[in-house]
Amino acid sequence: MLHISSRMKWSAAIFSVMGFALLAVFAQDLPSRVDNGALLAARGEEWLTYGHDYAETHHSPLDRITASNVSRLGLAWSVEVGSQGLVEATPLISNGIIYGTTTWSKVFAINARTGETRWEWDPGIVRGGAPAGGPSICCGPINRGVALYGDKVYAGLLDGRQVALNAETGAVVWAVQTTPPGRDYSVSGAPRVVKGKVIIGNAGAEFGVRGYVTAYDAETGVRAWRFYTVPGNPADGFENEAMRRAAETWTGEWWKYGGGGTVWDGMAYDAEADLLYIGVGNGSPWNRNIRSPGGGDNLYLTSILAMRPDSGELVWHYQTSPGEDWDYTAVQPMILANLTIDGQERRVLMQAPKNGFFYVLDRITGKLISAEPYVEVTWAERIDTVTGRPVETPQARYGPEGAMLAPGPAGAHNWHPMSWNPGTGLVYIPGRLSRFFYSRPENFTYQPGRSNWGVPTGRGGNIAGVMSPAQEFVLAWDPVAQKERWRFSLAAGVPTAGGGFNMNAGTLSTAGNLVFSGDGRGLLYAFNAETGEKLWSFQLYPNIATPMTYELDGRQYVSVLSGNGSAASAPGRLYTFMLDGTASMPVVRR
């Protein structure tokens, strides 16, 4: 379904009567082309890509809203965008138009000044049933957002399509099926555009798929390259030398289970080094003893890969959890920055993956610089900085008798973006403390179209292991000293069998010495970026996604999606705030 706002139906007669001045006003709301230069510049007035910039900092240089005046922040406008599940997208803005997604891969365009909907696009994915919309989905019909380039809006769809829409009208320009039809892949992550190529991964590791990442020509949709993250059946040959090397780290007949390694979230790009970084997910099944019974590191599971964006050639890799056994993905958002370490400026990549350690890598070579736990960790004692490998605890490789380990499969940090403020030198992590009782099942039978965790399951195929209540927080972390600077505890929540990934929100940092985030109850917060003092809060619908900020007509705004999809209690809604905003707040139904 395509809906176009009546405001777009202007006629030439109106312009001829009202004159050029009116045309200039309207032109402020017309989509403009987004090019490589704009993405590289990452000016604060707009938010053109998922992490604001190629470095994925989720930081804005805007400073009209500050720690001194944020208490005056009020609602400018809000608009219902619809949702049949949890909202997770970070909206983008270009030339006065906000673009974003909600559940079931619906895309919207909204006037950033007024909140008026310009157009909506519904891909018509089938609801209900098993599978739903073609693939099996682990975590609801979620979507984390769009990409902008040229005069198009790009979205990955739950049914595995990658589409390009006309930014002005929402009409489909091109669409490709980026996953095998009828297989249990899905797409939930936000695409990125690098050097005129749309980069997209996929999800579905637990359902027995083989992960990969694909690049498409942004103008035509023609596939430029594809890189598989785990090897396939050796009898079929290897796509490249990287897959041949990876196969040496697997045993048994792993390809019958797919292997996993899906690229469902984090990416970043260093234009100077011309390196694209992607994060790789967990094994399928989780239990290595099943998928690779002779052991092995199982490359490139739970790895950060540095690749050439023109060709997809692998340059280096770093594996955070060799021989992955715990659903400790490394797809969590990563940040590129320059840090002074031991008196030397280093070009680094930072990541806080699920396994509980904060990593600082040399982003040119992939060499580990440092890694320290930022939450309780019981599966490993430390990360050996010489080998780059974890020193595992005796209970880490759980047997049939099982072991309670921290973090649990929900991770110490999941998909929620962290942010980096170069002014304070701190990374702001939406983290959690959780534990899980891992054990091997007595018997395992692979079931296509079902979640094949490789740990005991109970009624309905849900994870049967005991998962402790999560303790969630916003953490300010010093990546040079590898130390906590402050922590704000959020509302505690009990994780669900699917992992409970949707309690706390991602973080946004700004040059106004502020950090914005939220909790599962729907409270949006602003903190002093240096001290962690709570300066402001506002009650929204439960389940806040990740805020972004922009500037129009000399005013700074903060926008965020919120809602858990229940029409009776918390439908998806886009909220926009400004200083001294006086718009009425819709009733928050519980």
Residue written as token pair 């993405």 = 39
- Distance between CA atoms of residues 87 and 198, nearest Å: 23
As a whole number of Å, the end-to-end CA separation of the chain is 30
- Distance between CA atoms of residues 266 and 218, nearest Å: 20
**Element housing 36 (H / E):** helix 36-41
Alpha carbon of 189 to those of 144, 423, 457: distances in Å?
5, 29, 27
Q: Write the CB contacts of 214 (distance below 8 Å, at least 6 apart in sequence).
A: 162, 178, 199, 200, 201, 223, 225, 226, 227
Q: Are strands 334-341 and 314-319 parallel, antiparallel or unpaired?
A: unpaired
- Distance between CA atoms of residues 262 and 284, nearest Å: 10
The one catalytic residue among 53, 297, 327, 519: 327
Instruction: State the maximum Cα–Cα separation within the chain, in Å, rounded to a whole number.
Output: 81
- Distance between CA atoms of residues 557 and 73, nearest Å: 9
On the question of a cis peptide bond just before residue 407, with omega within 30 degrees of 0, the verdict is yes
Assess contact for 85 and 590: CB atoms under 8 A.
no
Alpha carbon of 451 to those of 297, 408, 457, 498: distances in Å?
23, 17, 10, 10
Question: Which pair of structure tokens corresponds to residue 240?
Answer: 């490249």
* Beta strand segments in 322-424, E: 334-341, 344-351, 357-362, 368-373, 380-383, 390-392, 403-405, 419-421
Catalytic residue flag (residue 265): no
To 5 degrees, how large is the angle CA 358–CA 360–CA 280? 75
Single out the residue of 163, 162, 207 nearest to residue 182, CA to CA. 207
Assess contact for 435 and 408: CB atoms under 8 A.
yes
On the question of a cis peptide bond just before residue 123, with omega within 30 degrees of 0, the verdict is no
Active site (catalytic) residues: 327
